[in-house]
Chains A and B, each alone.
Chain A
Amino acid sequence: MTPNLPLVILVGVMVAAGVTLVLERSLTRILIGFVLIGNGVSVLYLVISGRAGTAPIVGLSDDPMSDPLPQAMVLTAIVITLGVTSFGLALAYRAWQLTGHDDVQDDVEDDAIRRRAEKDETSTTFDPGDAALPDEEGSDTPNRGATS
């Protein structure tokens, strides 16, 4: 099987463009990126199904037929992509309703750490008492040495 070069290039371009969009913050752009990647991958299935031009139906003629399996698969994949995309759009709309934008927000943990860093605060699990205690090697620090 020799792959169809223009199709391979098309897959590359679509996926690359899609990845660029997915790295954005706005959910709508991420979804457009996802659609591009999804369609790119669908085109990849055309590449793997071999030479085009014959019908993918058994027994239509004695000529060699196209491989029907990748086409069945790609149909399923297209339907799934459509469903997921529409759900994502609804989600973006809901996010816009709630917050006025559809940016994907930070991880709770990232957010907490950044806020603490801005306020120059230590975490609640950090115990300054413990931290001041020297370990064996540290026991010769001046002020601890004076107290003990």
Chain B
Amino acid sequence: MNQIVLLPVILPLLGAGLCLVFGRSALAQRVISTAILAMVVTVAAILLVRADRFGPQTVNVGGWPADIGISLVADRLSALMLLVSTVVTLCVLLYSFGQGIVEFGRDAPLSVFHPTFLVLSAGVSNAFLSADLFNLFVGFEILLVSSYVLITLGGTGARVRSGTIYIVVSMMSSVVFLVAIACVYAATGTVNLAALSERMSDLPTEVSNLLQLLLLTTFCIKAAVFPLSAWLPDSYPTAPAPVTAVFAGLLTKVGIYAIIRTQTLLFPDNDLQTLLLWAAVFTMVVGIMGAVAQSDIKRILSFTLVSHIGYMLFGVALGSAAGLSGAIFYIAHHITVQTTLFLLAGLIEYRSSTTNLDKLGGLARAAPMLSMMFFVPAMNLAGIPPFSGFLGKLALVEAGVDNGGWLAYVTVAAALATSLLTLYAIAKVWNRAFWQPAEDADDLDHESHTGSLHGRTGVSTKTERTSTWKTETATDQRLPLGMVLPTLLLVACTVALTVVAGPLLSFTTRAAEELQGRSSYVLAVLGGGG
């Protein structure tokens, strides 16, 4: 039964092969990739239940003992990450059917999209399930190489430009990761995480600190933590909407997952707490400052993505069970919400052929459905009370206050300020793209600008301006149902996260306790296993 741990990695790879075989038939590709991802979602759900009931599910690939061969483990954290990521991936895939021809054009190599997308999914699953550092590296490489292909899809000038930066940065982070693995192996003689967790404490402090810094540098580049985050807002916005959405949802979270895994297993006596907390503060504040200054929806969302990585890092840096639980909850929340928002940005782009706030306007009247779909996850991102964003932030802030150190309080303050500024950035998008009359959009100057500066007065400004509303510059193009339904499904997921927040929080608490206990993971990997 444990063998099903293999499926989330193997199935998408198999599907990618099949998709290539049926490269000429778009329909066959669609059926194959949907079926494969639906199966992976089912497997992930089963793994989640089993990991919660019976402890970590382990499989040793090829029957080699764990400290020599490759083992895959699904404990509570991995299984939750896997489930959330595959659900999101499936929705994005469905969305891409609706968008396919429009976005990629007839000349673009459409047949490449599905296989690459499935390989990306396999890489993400492999990274989440991997129980040794080198397999984690391989997982990263699988997802990175397929992301290289996806981000430069079609090979247009803008995508080649932004893709180059992304690729060079990722290549360098991979090299740093290789050096880190070499150093870990030289110091301990193993790359298995469970074995490492037993041997790491025997190392001199200087050596283990060096290893921790090397690994953190790698993962912080992938997760876009502040000093190493400059690549993200520049490279994400130019890619096609489904690609950006899945990157924003998953790739940075894989980095955060790797940080959680290595911090809790290898370095439980966290010497670098101060450094991580400062990194969290700067990631949150600098990221959101960037978002405030932007005037393109995709770029604003990219900057909020960087900024909210800080929240997760904050939870990890605290090192307490409450902090970890908050961070895990926040990851699950943020994957769904950020993906949904990027898909909505794609819908806006489809409808108005731009995501630039200077050119958008009047969408609330022209596309009321779209506006409602945007409003819910947007408020969720900003952390307005009933939503899961609020609950996640609350859990993190509580954990920070429990910690009691002055730096924890500084971080809490930064988290609150960031939340407020997120609301400001989102309100700016809302006011200028949805409420501001379309005709004002062209001569953007003082008036509309004040409207966005004082978000709360937006309501009155709107009613005053309704009379002057004559034409709509937004094209009268109906949104294809194939794009709307998956987005709606994801919006429903973000709301559902709020509804099930109670059970989910108790689950993440159990996951955090399991992470801190370490023994069940180590026992599952090293003792026996299938």
Contact in complex: B234, A108 (CB < 8 Å): yes
Chain B residues with Cβ below 8 Å from A38 are 175, 178
A94 and B185 CA atoms in complex are apart in Å by 39
| CB of B193 to closest CB in A, whole Å | 15
Given A41-B182, A94-B160, A98-B157: A88 and B167 within 8 A (CB)? yes
| CB of B355 to closest CB in A, whole Å | 14
Contact of B358 among A1, A91, A124, A127 (CB under 8 A): A124
**7 A-B contacts, Cβ less than 8 Å apart?**
A34-B172, A44-B179, A69-B185, A88-B167, A95-B161, A98-B160, A107-B230
A108 and B290 CA atoms in complex are apart in Å by 13
**A73 in the interface, Cβ–Cβ < 8 Å?**
yes
Closest A residue to B156 by CB, please name it: A98
Contact in complex: A87, B446 (CB < 8 Å): no
| CB of B451 to closest CB in A, whole Å | 12
Contact in complex: A127, B449 (CB < 8 Å): yes
A76 and B160 CA atoms in complex are apart in Å by 27
Contact with A along B130-151 (1 / 0, CB 8 A): 0000100010010001001100
Top 6 nearest A-B pairs (CB, nearest first) are A48-B186, A41-B178, A107-B234, A44-B182, A98-B157, A80-B141
**A117 in the interface, Cβ–Cβ < 8 Å?**
no
Contact in complex: B165, A104 (CB < 8 Å): yes
Interface size, A (range): 35 or more
**B181 in the interface, Cβ–Cβ < 8 Å?**
yes
A77 and B148 CA atoms in complex are apart in Å by 17
**B516 in the interface, Cβ–Cβ < 8 Å?**
no
Contact of A87 among B148, B233, B295, B444 (CB under 8 A): B148
Contact with A along B165-182 (1 / 0, CB 8 A): 101100110110011011
Chain A residues with Cβ below 8 Å from B293 are 123, 125
Q: Known pairs A70-B185, A76-B134, A125-B293. 7 more at Cβ < 8 A?
A: A48-B182, A80-B174, A84-B167, A87-B149, A94-B152, A95-B164, A127-B446
A104 and B449 CA atoms in complex are apart in Å by 35
A84 and B143 CA atoms in complex are apart in Å by 12
**B417 in the interface, Cβ–Cβ < 8 Å?**
no
Contact in complex: A73, B181 (CB < 8 Å): yes
Contact of B175 among A27, A37, A48, A69 (CB under 8 A): A37
Contact in complex: B185, A104 (CB < 8 Å): no
Contact in complex: B157, A99 (CB < 8 Å): yes
**B109 in the interface, Cβ–Cβ < 8 Å?**
no
Closest A residue to B444 by CB, please name it: A124
Contact in complex: B185, A48 (CB < 8 Å): yes
Contact of A91 among B157, B167, B175 (CB under 8 A): B167
| CB of A31 to closest CB in B, whole Å | 9
**B163 in the interface, Cβ–Cβ < 8 Å?**
yes
Contact with B along A29-67 (1 / 0, CB 8 A): 010001001100100110110000000000000000000
Contact with A along B257-277 (1 / 0, CB 8 A): 000000000000000000000
